[in-house]
Amino acid sequence: MTIRSKIVGTGMGVPEHVVTNHDLEKLMDTSDEWIRQRSGIAERRHIREGERPSELAERASRRALDAAGLEPGDLDGIVLATLSSEHDFPGTSFFLHRRLGVPEIPCFDLRAQCSGFLYALATADAYIRAGMMRRVLVVGCEVHSTGLDLTTRGRNVSVLFGDGAGAVIVEANPDPEDRAGVLAVRMHAQGEHAERLWIEAPGSGSYPLRITAEQVAAGRHFPQMEGRFVFKHAVTRMPEVLRETLDAAGVKQDDVSWFLLHQANLRINEFVAQAMGIPPEKCPSNIERFGNCSAASIPMLLDEGARAGRLEPGQLIALAAFGSGFTWASAILRW
């Protein structure tokens, strides 16, 4: 009997503190017009002192559990995707594990940057298909704001990112009559371009210490991005992997109701939709309100769609992301 995995609950958690483009104008030489025109972003959320990534992850996870009618004790495992771990080690998932008060189930962090949620979904799907787990909490969680250079020096990157978490419960669906589930997932990476979008330090690649005063003075603990290079690759790789995953799932592009694309930049997604002939109304976005929340952006979109009643049972949904690494991935779901 083939076991398929399906999403049975979604949730999200974002900080309350809203930072508008006009707020950023007070910190750096930028403008609302520049940010909106280049990225589509109007505002994003930043944590306040005392708020923690695992707190956002907990909020998203509890909402996903509630939506599924489950308790933390019903879970068999937790996979949390992040590029902004709460501490160097252990990963954010362990702090989430404690907050949820789950029994001694396995948990781990997964690092695939903006494609992290799709890599984590693929992992949960594989565990479920292999019969190792029945119910997995998959979380994308980022706190970017404490790692951004919020001065003019860092404006090409810092205006783009926001804080947030999204979560889904993935469950075994052994019912052959129920067609809902993850139909196909495909993942790729190209380490050749690792330094095109990265944070150099702190890291064990720096010697003799993981971070030095010189690195801090040079701002090498802030993200560095070759924006145009990233843009060019994102708009090529996302259509490629979407087509590959549609083929693998045996699904026609026109039969897909929703394309939920990673929220890196509205222009990237407009480009992808146009290149593939996808009607823009099939590509909802939330980047206007939340900026780029990396691994959290796709589960946040799923949660917004599910709660608004846009995602209807039986619909086909395509997910795709591109990010640092480089990484890119896609999944086709039947809701």
Q: Give least dist CB 34 to ligand ACO, A.
A: 4
**How many Å from the N-terminal Cα to the C-terminal Cα in the chain?**
21
Interaction mask 37-56, ligand ACO, x per CB under 6 A: -xx-----------------
Positions 280 through 299 that interact with ligand ACO (CB under 6 A): 292
* CB-nearer residue toward ligand ACO: 107 or 272: 272
Tell whether residue 322 is a contact of ligand ACO (CB under 6 A).
yes
Could you give the CA distance from residue 47 to residue 60 in angstroms, rounded to a whole number? 15
Number of chain residues interacting with ligand ACO (CB under 6 A): 23
Q: Give least dist CB 81 to ligand ACO, A.
A: 13
**Which one is catalytic: 21, 173, 286, 292?**
292
The sign of the CA dihedral 233, 145, 157, 60 is positive
Could you give the CA distance from residue 267 to residue 310 in angstroms, rounded to a whole number? 23
Q: Give least dist CB 17 to ligand ACO, A.
A: 20
Positions 70 through 129 that interact with ligand ACO (CB under 6 A): 114
Structure token digits, residue 40: 């589509």
User: Judged by CB under 6 A, which stretch of 53-61, 128-136, 239-247, 264-272 contacts ligand ACO?
Assistant: 264-272
Q: Give least dist CB 118 to ligand ACO, A.
A: 13
21 forms bridges with which residues in the sheet? none
Residue selected from 227, 244, 248, 276 as contacting ligand ACO according to rule CB under 6 A: 227
Task: Name the closest residue to ligand ACO (Cβ).
Answer: 227
* CB-nearer residue toward ligand ACO: 26 or 228: 228
169 forms bridges with which residues in the sheet? 9, 137
Residue selected from 234, 249, 293, 333 as contacting ligand ACO according to rule CB under 6 A: 234
Residue selected from 197, 295, 298, 300 as contacting ligand ACO according to rule CB under 6 A: 197
Q: Alpha helices, DSSP H only, in 43-179?
A: 53-68, 92-100, 116-129, 155-158
Structure token digits, residue 274: 């146009």
3-state secondary structure of 248: helix
Q: Give least dist CB 165 to ligand ACO, A.
A: 16
Angle between helices 53-68 and 92-100 (to 10 degrees): 50
**Catalytic (active site) residue 286:** no
Looking at residue 139, its amino acid is V
Nearest to 325 by CA among 182, 157, 170, 189: 189
3-state secondary structure of 110: strand
Could you give the CA distance from residue 322 to residue 299 in angstroms, rounded to a whole number? 15
Active site residues: 114, 262, 292
For ligand ACO, the binding residues (CB under 6 A) are 30, 34-35, 38-39, 114, 155-156, 159-160, 197, 225, 227-228, 230-231, 234, 264-265, 268, 292, 322-323
